[in-house]
Structure 1
């Protein structure tokens, strides 16, 4: 009889401890929890920066790998002098145009392939064949067609971002709840209204996910294109600084475009959460 009692007492104590633990977590103020999560998220970057600082001048000569402190100073000089702003604006403009075109074409193409068999049959093989091709490999061809400059960079960004948006739009339209479609048809909804009032709203969440995937791809494709075929932009600044051995400036521009890409993705995620508040 003592063993069961002991077991009950143990289980009771466990429940009590569990309740205390839950209450103790709930008692932590929300701002403190957010601050702790923020610090935890940035720990890997801090570790990387420390390792970078240590490696510079020890494992790697400082002339080739300048320390973060020197790179930060170079970033300040670029910002104060204003040299970086026109190039950054050019790069962001190219990303905006290329990504915008890929969204417009990709959404229509993906939904069209999901809802219309002839469209899928026509484009499926073409997309499957072009998907494995690195888009930067098309830069020389784009230079022949469009020359060196904005048009080539926009084309490369467009091609690089197109497929993730097409795939997400296709999957979203393919998986639209059949009950919604059936109910709309029973209420007399014609094909055009069905597409506009049922299919499009049902696909928005996954389409926005595809755009989220395309944003970092757009930055990667842009810098790659500007390294090869541009006379302006952040990629061009990185290339010219590296060619003359100005590695602090080169790393400074790399950090700047990385930070801009990071905040672009985070800003988009916040916007997406607000747009999808109804889901």
Structure 2
């Protein structure tokens, strides 16, 4: 989508093109904010749907007082650990399933059975096993992010050019060396795609888990604010975590493009 937009304005001078591209990218969000402002107090009562100006003021207050940061750091820690574990285990599992029939036969049934299950449905089990808190939230993030990483690593390892494998074998490369010298480097682009898919999923799973199984974090703030009718604060926290998720996704995309410049 971004490339298509660039083609439509590529006739402009480079500095103007950059500004125009930025404006075009943010137009949908601007339209949403305008509609939100109009709907507040007309379509929906202002007490239930506070206008963007009120929410913006509350965001500024939360940032200036620092009230939001302790909960935000806890949420980001949970995402980091859960996503990190899913990357580590997902890559190993995906490549292992692609290169070993026994491994694939053993794990395929579990992945097939758990794929259709909404991971938030596992929150009660996580609470039962781990209690309310960080461990349960990390488990939900891990389970939610695992599958896209496994699938992308698996598909990439299956599709590795056999000519590369045969050439490495002819040069005397052992099976162990084959994994980290040939297979893994060839799968990196697809693995990064899987991680890109998992990053927003991690935020969704984290907030869902914190709404039910936590007494800290952004999800917990959203829940408690809504329960007491403090809707400006509730919407402020929703906007904050949405903005952080947006930055995380865009930041990862920039990092991926730099890492994969050789592809």
TM-score (norm 1): 0.90
Post-superposition offset of 1:148: 0.4
Q: Which of 65, 88, 108 matches 2:92?
A: 108
Alignment partner, residue 178 of structure 2: 194
Paired residue for 1:177? Answer: 161
Mapped to 1, the partners of 2:174 and 2:38 lie a distance apart of 67
Structure 1 residue aligned with 2:139, among 147, 155, 179?
155
- Does 2:96 match 1:142? no
Gaps of 5+ in 1: 1-21
CA shift for structure 1 position 196: 1.0
Distance 1:38 1:120 in 2: 45
Q: Structure 2 residue aligned with 1:271, among 237, 245, 255?
A: 255
Residue by residue, what CA displacement relative to the aligned partner does 1:35-91 show, whole Å, maximum 9, x if unpaired?
A: 111110110000000000000000000000000000000000000111000000000
1:34 positional shift? 1.5
Q: For 1:192-246, what per-residue CA distance to the aligned partner results, in whole angstroms no more than 9, with x for missing partners? A: 1111100000000000000000000000000000000100000000000000000
- The answer for the alignment partner of 2:4 in structure 1 is none
Shift of 1:29: 2.4
Gaps of 5+ in 2: 1-6
Where 1:231 maps in the other structure, the secondary structure is coil
Give 1:25 shift. 5.2
Other structure's SS at 1:277 match:
coil
1:132 to 116, 128, 142: 116
Partner of 2:14: 30
Q: Could you say what the CA RMSD is over the residues aligned between the two structures, in angstroms?
A: 1.2
1:33 CA drift (Å): 1.0
Instruction: Find the aligned partners of 1:181 and 1:33 in 2 and give their Cα distance.
Output: 45
Distance in 1 of aligned mates of 2:207 and 2:246 = 15
Secondary structure of 1:278's counterpart equals: coil
When normalised by structure 2's length, the TM-score is: 0.96
C-alpha distance in structure 1 between counterparts of 2:113 and 2:52, whole Å? 43
Q: Which residue of 2 aligns with 1:99?
A: 83
Q: What SS is found at the alignment partner of 2:261?
A: helix
Q: Secondary structure at the match of 1:83?
A: coil
2:237 matches 1:258:
no
Equivalent in the alignment of 1:70 = 54
Query: Which is higher, the Rg of structure 1 or of structure 2?
Result: 1
Q: 1:58 to 1:25 in 2, by over 3 A?
A: closer
The correspondence for 1:61, drawn from 45, 50, 54, is 45
- Cα distance in 1, alignment partners of residues 15 and 159 from structure 2: 39
**Aligned partner of residue 215 in structure 2, secondary structure:** coil
In 1, the alpha carbon distance for the partners of 2:210 and 2:178 equals 43
